[in-house]
Structure 1
């Protein structure tokens, strides 16, 4: 069954990347809104999945980016309606915020390919059964979220305990759908990673001074990408396949 996927973009360089490849392989059409370019947001009945992408701003920057207000309203409506909602980095933080959890600066910044572990809840969750307990994935964030009420924290790093969560309303349970949020970037590809590194070089250089243990230099990020990208794209495909197959037809 074809899924109608809509993505909310917050910057030109945080692209769908592997998500687009997965969607095309399964004949799922994708539409996109760029609120920062004054695009109209979709209506609830026009999509099955809502994917909320990353970006350099904070969930609290409504004074600078007033379009965040309308985005948050749409995301909350999609969650309440039992839609599949997936958040990546800033997108995960926005979803957590919409669910009433506090979003705040973390103790350190994490930029680069860093180890992460599934929690006991993550290891036991049916959507994540094919993920290893320990793996390395790409991070780029300086804020984090508390666990939303009713959600399960599914992963952690040494620097920040809450790296992802899964959530269901009663409507989601009835539909066999989920809300899935990750701080990290499973979706980066060899084509998209250099764009992120180039556009975010100032943040990297600043992070190297203040957080040398959790921020990597551009050359190291790109070199490690050659090692880890393919397996992380495969993990994202596995999760998406599980979500797609779990919905009640």
Structure 2
């Protein structure tokens, strides 16, 4: 995959690095927001062997999900280098936005335990903000409870010094932040087109059927499409607030 966008060679303060681990898990709505705000995107497909660039060249780093675990180094040896890269970039103050696997990688990079939870959280679920979210510049404006799309079985312990911002009934740690680094376990970035693409993938279909039985793909995706506009509003609010507070004001 060509890691340049149509906007040209992505270098300088207006470039954002996007790390992907699977072609079908792009930033989606987050990418639309970046392009609308005039940022150029440098996309690296780590699962396809593309190399990590110098993190100093970017205004921010967005790290997306994937089917592997954050510690699956035996099958994906590049994960160790990615965790080290994340730790170095965050320590240098580069704003970080991690989604699902990207959230788990941030937790691991900051020294926390990442492990398989008691039960998978796959489908549409309610989450709620914590008391700490009221003082957070990104999550303060959200309703007390809202609905999101989830697709994970792994979870993580809260890193030292982190602010827990969102929880769910099944998993206490849904969103945390350390400075300008944010970890978001759920997928509010998924729009209708990406949802349809996920529904067409045999590996995703098998995962859903194994969890919820025959016909699960249609049921889960129908529910997602019913809530996709609400997800988009949440994604737009939190990602835009993060950009404004940490990427643009902090530049």
Both structures adopt the same fold (TM-score exceeding 0.5)? yes
Q: 1 CA distance for matches of 2:222 and 2:230?
A: 15
Q: What's the CA shift string for 1:145-196, capped at 9, x where partnerless?
A: 110000011111111111110112xxxxxxxxx1111110011010001222
Give the TM-score normalised by the residue count of structure 2: 0.88
Query: Cα 1:201–1:123, aligned 2, differ >3 Å: closer, same or farther?
Result: farther
1:175 counterpart residue number? none
1:117 equivalent among 115, 128, 131: 128
- Computed over aligned residues only, the root mean square deviation of the Cα atoms, in angstroms, reads 1.8
Mapped partners of 1:241, 1:16: distance in 2: 14
Number of the residue aligned with 1:240: 239
Which residue is 2:119 aligned to? 108
Deviation at 1:121, TM superposition (A): 1.2
Offset at residue 2 of structure 1 (A): 6.6
Structure 2 residue 21 is the aligned partner of structure 1 residue 10: yes
Per the alignment, residue 65 of structure 1 pairs with 76
Summarize the alignment of residues 45-84 of structure 1 with structure 2, pairs less than 5 Å apart. Answer: 45-84=56-95
Q: Which range is displaced more, 107-116 or 218-227?
A: 218-227
Q: Secondary structure at the match of 2:192?
A: coil
Asked if 1 retains the 8 angstrom alpha-carbon contact of 2:13 and 2:57, the reply is: no
Question: Matched residues in 2 for 1:159 and 1:6: separation?
Answer: 32
Give the distance between the partners of 2:133 and 2:161, measured in 1 at CA: 14
Q: 1:173 aligns to what?
A: none
Structure 2: 5+ residue stretches without partners: 1-11
195-204 vs 111-120, which moves further = 195-204
Deviations 1:49-101 (A, max 9, x none): 11111011111111111111211121111101101111100110010000011
1:208-228 superposed Cα distances (whole Å, 9 cap, x missing partner): 15xxxxxx9222222222322
Answering whether residue 219 of structure 2 is matched by residue 208 of structure 1, we say no
Residue 138 of structure 2 aligns to a residue whose secondary structure is helix
The answer for the alignment partner of 1:191 in structure 2 is 193
Indicate the residue corresponding to 1:36 in structure 2.
47
Where 1:191 maps in the other structure, the secondary structure is helix
Aligned residues: 235
Cα distance in 1 for residues equivalent to 2:211 and 2:133: 29
**CA–CA separation in structure 1 for the residues paired with 2:189 and 2:33:** 10
In the alignment, the residues of structure 1 paired with residue 108 and residue 172 of structure 2 have an alpha-carbon distance, to the nearest angstrom, of 17
User: What are the ranges of 5 or more consecutive residues in structure 1 without an aligned counterpart?
Assistant: 169-177, 210-215
The residue that corresponds to 2:8 in the other structure is none
